Structure 1
Amino acid sequence: MALIVRCVNVDTNPQDCRDIETIGFDAEEGRIATRTPAQVYDLIEKEGYNVVVEHNGERTDVNAVKRGTTKYVRSEPNDTKNDNLLKQDSC
């Protein structure tokens, strides 16, 4: 099942995707359901979801990444302050 990222809440001056606080997806009745990056990591790694982000009309896969004990997600091939996830509207 594919989930499309609709919005992202980030720290005030994000440097990379580790600064994402919550990620929003479509929910029932036109609402947005938010998840932490660690929860989205688990959706991808443990539950087999395909998560994508749209930017400039194109979809990019979102990948689960772990640095030390920190679970987070990023779009390929970015993982910089210009990552497509960081270019999403706020939730």
Structure 2
Amino acid sequence: MYLTGLITAIGYSTRPILDNYSCREIAKNLCVHPTTVVYWVRQGWLKAKKRYVNCYQIKSRDLEQFFNNPPQPIRHRIAAIDPQVVRYLVG
């Protein structure tokens, strides 16, 4: 994360070029297991488009909405996520 902070400090964007993420990409950045993100999708907490079995595509705007209004059962968990990681994912 040091490099991300350094890049941001000098004015460059660290945000990925694509506006879509896989569950695996989100899980890697949030330091959770990919099945956790799939669970959030299946619960209807995180909007996603199904690509194939257990593979979903999540738009950054849907991820932003999830972070801004997390479901009650995991609100404390979402609140504990590093804000730099959230900014990296949603811009």
Q: Using structure 1 for the length normalisation, give the TM-score.
A: 0.33
Greater strand fraction, Structure 1 or Structure 2: 1
Greater helix fraction, Structure 1 or Structure 2: 2
Q: Using structure 2 for the length normalisation, give the TM-score.
A: 0.33
Higher relative contact order (CA 8 A, sep 6+): 1
Q: Say which one has the larger Rg.
A: 2
